[in-house]
Structure formats: C-alpha cells, structure tokens
Amino acid sequence: MTDNIVFYTNPMSRGRIVHWMLEEVGAPYRTELLSFDKNEHKAPAYLAINPMGKVPAIVHRGVVVTEAAAICAYLADAFPKTGLAPALDDPARGTYLRWMFFGAGCIEPAIMDRMFERPAPSRPASLGYGSYDDTLNALEKAVSPGPFVLGARFSAVDVYLASQIGWGMQTKALEARPAFQRYSASCTERPAFQRFSAAAPMD
C-alpha cells in the first residue's frame, strides 16, 4: 500500500476545493481525472470508491474519504505540520469545526436552493439553514474582521469557505457583500491557491 494520496476529480467540480487544499498541504498526490461526458464517475470501478458516483474523493493510506469539507478537515489532521488545523487541545478548534460544518451543512444548501430558485418551505424552522438571509449574516460574522476565520491564522476552514464564497459570488447565488469580497481576496492571494488556479483555469 502506498502512502501517496490518490485524488479523484473532474476539473469543473467541487474537486477544485480539494485541489486547492492539496496544494496547501504540499504532500505528493496523483490525480485521476474522471470524465462526466463519458460517465466515468458512474462506472463500477469508481462506484467501488464512492457509491454516490460523485467527485471529489481521495484515497490515502488505504482509506477512502469523500465530501469536500471532510477531505479538507482530514488532510489538515493527517498532515499536522502544515498547521492547517488547530490541535485537538486548542480551543480554536471549536471555531474551526463550527464553521467547517456550517459551510457544508448550511452555506452550501442555502446557495444551491437560491441558485435553483427552490421555493421556500412551509416551515423554514425545520430547514437546517433556516433562511438565506440568516445564513449569509452568520457567514459574514464568521469571516469578519478576518483576514481569516481564525483571525490572523489561515486554516483548512478557509479553503472550504472561500471556495463556497468564490463560487457563490461567481454564480450570483451569493450576494457579493464587501466582507465576502475582502475575505475571498485574502484567501486567494495564497501561493497554493495561485498554483491550483494556474493548473486548473476556469476556462
């Protein structure tokens, strides 16, 4: 078994989040590109890795990790010398985990519902993210005053949140508030982001 990371992705997918994260980590990895046109993500070989037939996924030390937020958190913990996650006994870990889960559990569905113009449910209180406005207001607080969620310290949660914010603003599903623009600029000036975006331009 090799310790090298295998990264399953498609260039125009949430795999972009993990691509940036892998550049932050700096550990060796091999990329397996899956063509959506050829349905390679639904082929038995890949379904054996991710039964959802979705990217991204990684395999590291014989273990599969899927879900972009989980992959970011996993990689930060697997490579602690990178300093991309607060240590287990660091109180900042609470803040870090809070916003990582908020990103996946609230921001993403809020953005997707807005993008697809899904009608508001009859009981918004039952919706995990409540309302689009409440979610954006909370997100604005999380990234303010910045420059990062943990203040001066950049971490894996910034890879995840800045990816959601960047994509959300680009598709106009997320309001381009000044706080989001400032946060996005701070995160995307990182050399790892620059390396990733040079390797995977948006067309």
Ligand X SMILES: N[C@@H](CCC(=O)N[C@@H](CS)C(=O)NCC(=O)O)C(=O)O
Per CB under 6 A, which region of 53-61, 122-130, 155-163, 164-172 contacts ligand X?
A: 53-61
CB of 173 to ligand X, least distance (A): 14
Q: Which residues contact 180 (CB under 8 A, 6 or more apart)?
A: 139, 140, 143, 165, 169, 174
- # of chain residues touching ligand X (CB under 6 A): 9
Per CB under 6 A, which region of 20-28, 48-56, 79-87, 140-148 contacts ligand X?
A: 48-56
95 binds ligand X (CB under 6 A): no
Residue 151 bridge partners (DSSP): 148
Distance CA 43, CA 36 (A): 11
Per CB under 6 A, which region of 54-62, 111-119, 139-147, 166-174 contacts ligand X?
A: 54-62
67 binds ligand X (CB under 6 A): yes
Distance CA 101, CA 104 (A): 5
Distance CA 203, CA 27 (A): 27
CB of 21 to ligand X, least distance (A): 12
54 binds ligand X (CB under 6 A): yes
- Asked if 30 contacts 5 with a C-beta cutoff of 8 angstroms, the reply is yes
41 binds ligand X (CB under 6 A): yes
55 binds ligand X (CB under 6 A): yes
If you ran DSSP here, which 8-state letter would residue 125 be given?
A: G
Indicate the burial class of 203 (C-beta count within 10 angstroms; 0-12, 13-18, 19 or more).
exposed
Nearer to ligand X, 53 or 146 (CB): 53
60 binds ligand X (CB under 6 A): no
Positions in the binding site for ligand X (CB under 6 A):
13-14, 41, 53-56, 67-68
